[in-house]
Structure 1
Amino acid sequence: MTHIFSIYRSLTATLERQDWLVPTLARIIFAGVLFYYFWQSGVSKIAFDQGIGGWLTPTDGAFAQIFPKAAEAVLYDVDQMTFLQKVIAVAGGWAEILLPLLIVVGLMTRLAAIGMIGFVIVQSLTDVFAHGVKLGMAANDAWFDRYSDGLLMDQRAFWLFLLIVLVIQGAGPLSLDRVLVRRTTTA
């Protein structure tokens, strides 16, 4: 039995030295599973089709997604948005575009992952309080139940775990962060 544990320890020691693997896989999985989801959501919030000024203009989709009750009350008329609502909608749209892009290319990865964690928390709170998404056993969205397909508790826990890995371990060797660190240490 001692021999088996010795073999096991030598194999796991090799795996533990692979500090490049987990952050690299985390970014690849983020790119494959979440990048396009957030990118499309961000692009849908900003009126790019209205020229340069559109880059700072929220869409009716942004109004409906972020402030559904207020949007419904004014029949989704973007001109009825308050200044603060417009700022939040545009900032949210740009966050959904820029933060995932930074994570995928591995630039300021830890900061971008922290921003995405905050974004996912706000997104989840908006889903619950503004859109009325139900949580708990009755909604099939609780932890430690037999279901693994809950849209908030289960799904967002995996998202947050992936982002926390990037906050703790950084982007890994195949990243702009690593390139910039090498350039600044050799200069």
Structure 2
Amino acid sequence: MGSLTRAYEAVFHGLDRILGGWFLGLAARFVFAAVLFLYFINSAFTKVGDGLFGFFHVSVGAYAQILPKMMEAVSYNTAEIAFFPYKLIVYVGTYMEFILPILIVLGLFTRLAALGMIGFIVIMTYTDIYGHDVGADTIGSLFNDNPSSLIADQRTLWVFVMLVLVLKGPGFISLDYLFGRWSRR
């Protein structure tokens, strides 16, 4: 049994040495790109106007998605929303939903972008639960026999992918790594 344990440890420690510097970060960024990138980008596009310059115009939909109860209270009239802090929150939230996913996929400022995405997911979850009044079925719960709740289960996995990037970095195949090598020269 002792030699089997040593062989087992040798194989997996060897894999960790070979893959440790690049694989986890690249894998986490690949999973993010494959599963979540288009979700966040498409969601961000619902918050801006149409056309070439529409990107620079935050839509009423952005306010309704980010500040749902406040928008309902002012009959969806954005002129009645104070710039600070509410319009600022909407603008920052809208454009961070574009910027952070792009940074993660490119592997640029990855740890900071992943930390920002964790904050974004937490705020998004709070808004969904308390702002949009989603039901218990949608919220779900952890440690049950149903792994498909839209909030508790899925967003826990999203945050886990982001935590891998915060803790391990983007890996060798990233702009962070290239710029780091360039700056050390």
Deviations 1:36-93 (A, max 9, x none): 11111112212353737x61x3211111111112222333333333313222111111
- In 1, the alpha carbon distance for the partners of 2:75 and 2:50 equals 22
1:39/1:100 contact within 8 Å kept? yes
- In 2, the alpha carbon distance for the partners of 1:155 and 1:148 equals 8
- In 2, the alpha carbon distance for the partners of 1:63 and 1:140 equals 22
Q: What pairs with 1:172-183 in structure 2 (closer than 5 Å)?
A: 172-183=171-182
Cα drift, residue 152 of structure 1: 1.1
1:119 equivalenced with 2:126 (yes/no): no
- In 1, the alpha carbon distance for the partners of 2:109 and 2:78 equals 33
Q: 2:46 maps to what in 1?
A: 44
Deviations 1:151-170 (A, max 9, x none): 11111110111001100111
- Closer, same or farther: CA 120–180 of 1 in aligned 2, 3 Å: same
1:161 equivalenced with 2:163 (yes/no): no
Q: How many aligned positions are there?
A: 182
- In 2, the alpha carbon distance for the partners of 1:79 and 1:140 equals 33
SS, match of residue 51 in structure 2: helix
Q: 1:147 maps to what in 2?
A: 146
Q: 1:68 maps to what in 2?
A: 68
Give structure 2 stretches of 5+ with no counterpart.
Answer: none
Deviates more, 1:12-21 or 1:22-31: 12-21
1:171 equivalenced with 2:170 (yes/no): yes
1:58/1:86 contact within 8 Å kept? no
Q: 2:58 maps to what in 1?
A: 58
| TM-score, L = length of structure 2 | 0.90
Q: Percent identity?
A: 38
SS, match of residue 75 in structure 1: coil
Return the structure number with greater relative CO, CA threshold 8 A, min gap 6: 2
Q: 2:16 maps to what in 1?
A: 16
Deviates more, 1:138-147 or 1:108-117: 138-147
Structure 1 segments of 4 or more deviating over 6 A?
Answer: none
- In 2, the alpha carbon distance for the partners of 1:112 and 1:139 equals 27
| TM-score, L = length of structure 1 | 0.89
